[in-house]
Structure 1
Amino acid sequence: MFLPVGSHDGGGGAGAAVELPAERGELPLGSTGVLQDRLSALSDDILLSILLRLPSTAAAARTSVLSRRWRGLWSQLPEIRFPFPSDPAAVGPALAASATGPALRLLHVACRDDAGAEAWLRTAAGRLGAGGELYFYNRTPGEERAHVGALSWQCHTFQLPCFETAGRVWLRLGFVDLNLPLTGVFERLTELRLEHVNLDCGSELGDMVSSPRCPALRELCISIARGVDSLCIISETLERLELDMMNGLEDLTVNAPMLRALNVHACFTWRKPVAAIYASRLELLWWSDAFDPSFVVFSEMANLQQLTTFNIPVYGRFDFALLQDSLMLLQHFPVVSQLDLKLNYERDLSRYVYLMGTVTKLPNIKILSLWLHTKGHAIGASVFHLLSICPGVRKLKVTLRDNLKVDTPCTSVCACQQENWNTSYTLDILEEVEIRNFRGSEHDFAFAEMLFSMSPAIKKMTITLHHLASPSELLLSLGNLGTCFEIKYDTSEVSYEPSFSLFPETPDDHCT
């Protein structure tokens, strides 16, 4: 008897098939020499629950060497798992061995360059139970070369089957050329993620993910996809949509009355987009891409709560196209509860001009969240300018993204400290302030002191020190009478980074 049990490293790695002689007896247990395999006497349900706790299907299959009682038991598991780096050649045999078992609730495969994936994906489409989950991460030479810029590399093509029973499908395909199914209904599919794919079928993609063929789809992510120049999604159920780095997209239509969150990031590659977004219930909009209100239409969005836009340069060139697009986007929405902005400083400011003066209008907001990659520069001028044009802010959240080992504080003659701090107004209703990664530099203290002097209504101030910053007694002198002032010390070396995706990381996002 032969079983594809993989390697003996506890994961799903490759290894030769292991021969299991049929006449092999049980292992003697205990000191009396009497065969006492008490573990094998347990019920199948208990033994299967034990196997489910092993790290991979390969590890579960290796338990067949324990005794006859365990042989083939792994094939009755409702989950097949081959975590990275696994042997792709083992997936097909594992599916075949489990053919008499229950319908699968999970199939998880992460490997390198699986040219045979098309065959076992067809098998998996028929084996997944109602609401089952498929996660396939296929790291190929095409993906690895793409990371260093060789985008012209071509790899094999395969046909995506129609997953009629699956509830969740995550496919990261390493830039294979993917043909989509032209027929069939993804009846139970609620979440679909397509990543690292070559697609030359914008109309087919839009048709596949729209309601007639995905009647239950609620969450859709298409990330780092090539070949789609036009995309039209019409869905009655879609609630969360993310389009990330769809290089070459020119025309986008989204008609989704239940949509609550939309993220469009780096899809239009510096071209003016043509887009129409009809999403009356939208609550969260992340738009980190080109924008021109003459060509981008948003329907009435009375429920919009949060707007997040791309990196805004504090210093740079006046003709910077994305700066102009960001200004038009900020002026497009008159009222938003929370505004998230990412501000970037250049390391050497002497070659650039101060640009924040071009930001003359922000939405009427209650919460302002700023992510600042300052590279050691003072933040007072830029932050106080933004506060001066949105006096309705009740909560201010400032996150400094500096690395103190690299981004050392600038000198007193730096341009950032010569800019006028516009403090000729009072923040009468600012009640709560949070500053994360406080560096403890002189201009950081000056910023905090100025906030208190301008904001008599502050009820709570929270400062979290950068893990490399030294605690200072000067912090204790900050604050107003009646303010709850908290100082936190970051001992975990947490790196505060803005989220760039509506979706959580996948299990194999950091595979190398």
Structure 2
Amino acid sequence: MELRSGRRLRSSGQDRISALPDDLLRLVLARIGCARAAARTSVLSRRWRGLLLPGRVLRGVAFHKLEAALGRVSPAVSLLEIHVAKWACRLPPEQLRVSRVTSLLRAAARLAPEEFVLALPGESTRNTYDVELPSFHRATSIVLDALFFFRVPAGVEFPVLETLSLSGCMVDLKALLPQCPRLRVLRIKLTKFWTKGMDLMVHSASLQELVVENKWMRNVDIVAPSLKQLTMSMVSYIDKNISVMAPMMEKVSWQCLYVRVRGEAGFGLWCLGKLRLQTAERQGQPTSLHIHAYTNKRWYSLLNEVDSCREAIQKHIVDAFSVLELHLETAGHVFGAFVFHLIGMNCTHSAMQRLRVVLQRSMKEGCLTNCRCDPMNWKTENMSLTALKEMEVDGFEGEDHEFDFLKLVVKSAPNLDRVTVKLSREDSSSSDICTKLYDIFRAYSYVECCVCLNSGLMHGSQNCLST
């Protein structure tokens, strides 16, 4: 029966596929996913030729043939993606290549896509040639992945652009952002070839989300009154200048890595390793500041004991926090003076509600007589920690200077409710540690003290410590 039906179709010259509505035919072409294969379908029927596709994706087309391929695409497409594989990138000398990229972008702009993606493989060395970025009047989303500097000539506009993603390339943001009055999301991921000493300036009245992944960024200047989410990852210069004006921020993830070289920020033997300011994932949870530091005997004489550490940290405090978490590679050195140096920052002692100190002892150097990690005056510091309610020390070994640190914190925190001490190991000294802790906390009966081992809770409260 089906065979006879087929014979009737051929005899009558009917074509069921071509009889479908135009919108359905366009959907079929779009699902093919390859512009070259979609174009070949025109041999099936003359009616297929010239159909406006909702989107075009060009993959595997040689670079020098791209502009001609775009000339066969009808304008006003919803999506235009251009992916040039490395093996297909047969390029002329650099100057000619730059002019062709500019010409290619102009050809793409003439198609007026709503979404535009350009992924162009680049050189493995820094490329400083300028490529002109034309206007995309209908584009709501643009993705540029190419090792070029995109210059924005006068008069270029992006009136409806909402999302801009830059990967591997640089764009003159000072010239671009004023031409994007509806920009909501800006993502920047720069490679090491561009970023040595680069400044980041983002001024936008409409921006709501900013994501920056960069290395060796020197100065940061952000003015975004509508910004709600900020994600920043960078490697630090000591002389970095940072300014963030974003009063509406709700979610922050700010990370800075300090390179272990001469001139690093520090205090005495202590050097900054990493800093992270993080908003909690759950709404209503506090924002926390995480600081990783280590001892470095080699360069301690070059460090500024007074200002370099505090100044370096305070530059990155772009949002208020109430939790301070310190990860310290002590190598056997005294940490109390350094911790109180950090707590003494104006942005810390008045708002800190929770303090967590994680002690990591990967190697044991030990202190020499009059070691600079243990200035005698730190044990008599007078500090007001009125907001502190909870403290935890993880990796406690029962050294005298560790007990001195606990005494000073408890004395300085009149509203402290709970102290958790996690011992680094379980041995015969555990009972002695508990006895010494009881001697400290019996004068502060309002503070609950818990001592924990890796296997779990050892003593549950201050009263238990006395048994």
TM over 0.5: yes
SS in 1 for 2:243: strand
Aligned-pair CA distance for 1:168: 1.7
Tell me whether 1:266 sits opposite 2:204 in the alignment: no
Question: Residue 232 of structure 1 contacts residue 254 of structure 1 at CA under 8 Å; is this kept in 2?
Answer: yes
Tell me whether 1:245 sits opposite 2:214 in the alignment: yes
Separation of aligned partners in 2, 1:285 and 1:357: 28
> Structure 2: which amino acid aligns with 1:218?
R
Aligned to 2:205: 236
SS in 1 for 2:68: helix
Aligned to 1:93: 68
Structure 1 residues 300-332: Cα deviation after superposition (integer angstroms, max 9, x where no partner): xxx9964666x62345455678865554458x6
Question: Residue 312 of structure 1 contacts residue 326 of structure 1 at CA under 8 Å; is this kept in 2?
Answer: no
Quick one: structure 1 residues 78 and 373, their matched pair in 2 at CA, closer, same or farther if it must change by over 3 Å? farther
TM-score if structure 2 supplies the norm length? 0.56
Separation of aligned partners in 2, 1:369 and 1:187: 48
Instruction: Give the 5 Å matches for 1:1-400.
Output: 34=7, 38-64=16-42, 67-68=44-45, 71-72=48-49, 76-82=52-58, 87-99=62-74, 102-112=76-86, 115=97, 116-129=100-113, 132-141=114-123, 144-145=124-125, 153-154=126-127, 156-174=129-147, 176-197=148-169, 205-210=173-178, 213-224=179-190, 225-226=194-195, 232-245=201-214, 247=216, 249-250=218-219, 252-266=220-234, 270-283=237-250, 284=252, 286=254, 288=256, 306=287, 312-316=292-296, 327-328=313-314, 335-336=320-321, 343=327, 353=333, 358-360=338-340, 361=343, 362=348, 364=351, 391-392=388-389
Q: Which has the higher helix share?
A: 2
For structure 2, the residue ranges without an aligned partner over 5 or more in a row are 92-96, 259-263, 266-283, 364-384, 428-432, 434-440, 442-446, 459-467
Quick one: structure 1 residues 457 and 375, their matched pair in 2 at CA, closer, same or farther if it must change by over 3 Å? closer
Identity of aligned residues (%): 19
Quick one: structure 1 residues 164 and 48, their matched pair in 2 at CA, closer, same or farther if it must change by over 3 Å? closer
Aligned-pair CA distance for 1:215: 1.3
Structure 1 residues 169-221: Cα deviation after superposition (integer angstroms, max 9, x where no partner): 221212x243222323221112223332356xxxx5313213xx221122223
Quick one: structure 1 residues 215 and 328, their matched pair in 2 at CA, closer, same or farther if it must change by over 3 Å? closer
Aligned-pair CA distance for 1:238: 1.9
Structure 1 residues 316-354: Cα deviation after superposition (integer angstroms, max 9, x where no partner): 455678865554458x68942566x695869xx58xx56
Structure 1 residues 384-425: Cα deviation after superposition (integer angstroms, max 9, x where no partner): xxxxx884469x9x9xxxxxxxxxxxxxxx999989597777
Separation of aligned partners in 2, 1:51 and 1:119: 27
For structure 1, the residue ranges without an aligned partner over 5 or more in a row are 1-28, 146-152, 293-302, 378-388, 399-413, 432-441, 459-473, 481-512
> Structure 1: which amino acid aligns with 2:77?
A
TM-score if structure 1 supplies the norm length? 0.52
SS in 1 for 2:168: strand
Higher Cα radius of gyration: 2
Separation of aligned partners in 2, 1:286 and 1:42: 53
SS in 1 for 2:83: strand
Question: Residue 336 of structure 2 contacts residue 402 of structure 2 at CA under 8 Å; is this kept in 1?
Answer: no
RMSD: 5.4
Question: Residue 287 of structure 2 contacts residue 323 of structure 2 at CA under 8 Å; is this kept in 1?
Answer: yes
> Structure 2: which amino acid aligns with 1:109?
H
Quick one: structure 1 residues 72 and 232, their matched pair in 2 at CA, closer, same or farther if it must change by over 3 Å? same
Separation of aligned partners in 2, 1:39 and 1:122: 36
Quick one: structure 1 residues 236 and 90, their matched pair in 2 at CA, closer, same or farther if it must change by over 3 Å? same
Separation of aligned partners in 2, 1:110 and 1:324: 47
Quick one: structure 1 residues 231 and 376, their matched pair in 2 at CA, closer, same or farther if it must change by over 3 Å? closer
Aligned-pair CA distance for 1:232: 4.6
Separation of aligned partners in 1, 2:286 and 2:248: 10
